[in-house]
Chain A
Amino acid sequence: MTIARIILIAALALPSTVALSAPAAEPMRFKSEAIELPTSERIFPDGPGAEAINNNCVACHSAGMVLTQPKLTKAQWTETVNKMVHVYKAPVDPADAAAIVDYLTALKPAP
């Protein structure tokens, strides 16, 4: 095989590898990751049912997102609390669930 022929073969072979897989690049090297996530101290403000919501809800999610929801109806809050209990398996006593719905329905979303 002549040198010219080898060069021709190399030239023909190049585009498919160069274009798609950048052969010059070294395989990715990975560095282990370890982080610490911040936690929220925020609790639900006082009011009827505050104890129920603080006892039952913040183990899975922080309070902030609940308190930044728009004004929602009792039906909407009931649907959300039911989803938390029946689908997401939050272990909430039925009496507490009712108190939580009332607490949420009474929320007056502030800016």
Chain B
Amino acid sequence: MDTYALSRRAVLAGLGLGGLAAVAPARAAGSIRLPLPGGPDERALTTAFPGKGEMILQRTTPPLLETPFEVFDEGVFTPNDRFFVRWHWAGIPTSVDADAFRLKVHGHVDRELSLSLDEIARLPRFEIAAVNQCSGNSRGLFEPRVPGAQWANGSMGNARWTGVRLRDVLDRAGVKPGAVQVRFSGLDEPVVDDAPDFKKALEIDHARGGEVMIAYAMNGEQLPLLNGFPLRLVVPGWYSTYWMKMLSDVEVLEKPDENYWMKTAYRIPDVPGANIKPGQTGFKTVPINKMVPRSFVTNLRDGARVPAGGPVAVRGLALGGDCGVKAVDFSGDGGATWFPAKLGSDEGTYSFRRFEGSLPALSAGTHTVKVRCTNANGLVQPMDPVWNGAGFMQNGVETVSFQAA
């Protein structure tokens, strides 16, 4: 990455590096092409966001920054400075005073709390590895296309989150009998008065289940501001819409939350895999919730070239969703025969899991490799892509096309 950054700076400075195109063809102009059917597929690469390395610019204000896919080949955890960024409202505080910050806990509780960061840091520490994936990850790859942030596969990341259990915080406040949900809000706010502030809610038993946590660190460092400094809710196994950034307000509810972001937005068809046909109607909807299994080849990209006549290494990442990864299989013949991949170290139920395998020697020509994850609950990725009008919950089997020569 440093090489790219230096090269681009050199170009910008007018030095004109002749070899740049050969080094990084897709990046010569500081942009990248995403495989979005029908386009527009070109996106700028940016290093302009504080705390962030090179990211794919999907929107400047409020920021939508996608992780370039090659980052996922570098390891099972996603570095903080390459972790995707997604904000709903432009009213993002650009400074947070660590001493003055308070987390408010209120609502249907015995005692309202106003906790400083130091007080939170003195509570029992809890740590978990978990994938944070946008509900709309891969939306740009939907066919037919749907409106919204046109992400490729890079609005996801895996981190080791450190902080405290939400349960421990709720217990200090004393949840009163009759509580049904807990609602979360952060410091960000809409630019326009009366627009719906971004809030999300979880069922009380889920909130108190012992895995939902308030993180003050990711991968051993305090959170980048753009990923929610100083506190972020972590909801292992659930889509990141619930992972409230800059978490400042925890409200225990005695009635189910009916705010816009629960009742209207982030809803999925209440059918298996949220998968419907374009134009289909007559289904109920529910708030998006648990993630589903996915897997990605990370060492080969569409159009890659490998030597013919030798085995082809296949390497990648899988997630089980709301449970662990049971198996990853790959196929070099369009799904007729499958080989089990070797799974890498288990960093935890909700973490990415590395896998690797090898396709038998291939003749010269175009080939494909498909990867398919089966999670610990036995749920298998569908062979065909998922479709729904909001572009949520894509988890169809991925196919990479490459050349043996």
Interface residues, chain A, CB within 8 Å of chain B? Answer: 20-22, 25, 27-40, 42, 59-62, 64-65, 67-72, 76, 80, 87-91, 109-111
Smallest CB separation, A37 vs chain B (Å) = 6
A88 to B195, CA, bound (A): 5
Q: How many A-B residue pairs have CB under 8 A?
A: 136
Stretch at the interface among B60-68, B274-282, B332-340, B377-385: B60-68
Q: Classify the secondary structure of B's interface with A.
A: loop
Q: Is the CB of B125 within 8 A of A89?
A: no
Q: Is the CB of B190 within 8 A of A88?
A: yes
| B-chain residues with CB within 8 Å of residue A109 when the two chains form the complex | 38-40
Smallest CB separation, B385 vs chain A (Å) = 15
Smallest CB separation, B95 vs chain A (Å) = 4
Contact with A along B39-82 (1 / 0, CB 8 A): 11111001011110000011111111000000000000000000
| Contacts A38-B49, A64-B59 given; does A33 touch B147 at CB 8 Å | no
- Closest residue of B by beta carbon distance from A36: B94
Other A-B pairs beyond A30-B230, A37-B61, 14, CB < 8 Å: A21-B126, A22-B127, A29-B121, A32-B99, A33-B95, A33-B222, A39-B60, A39-B61, A61-B62, A64-B57, A70-B140, A71-B145, A109-B39, A111-B39
B2 on interface, CB distance cutoff 8 Å:
no
Q: Is the CB of A67 within 8 A of B40?
A: yes
A4 to B127, CA, bound (A): 33
Smallest CB separation, A58 vs chain B (Å) = 8
The one of B49, B96, B194, B225 in contact with A89, judged by C-beta atoms closer than 8 angstroms, is B194
- Closest residue of B by beta carbon distance from A28: B121
B296 on interface, CB distance cutoff 8 Å:
no
B162 on interface, CB distance cutoff 8 Å:
yes
Smallest CB separation, B190 vs chain A (Å) = 7
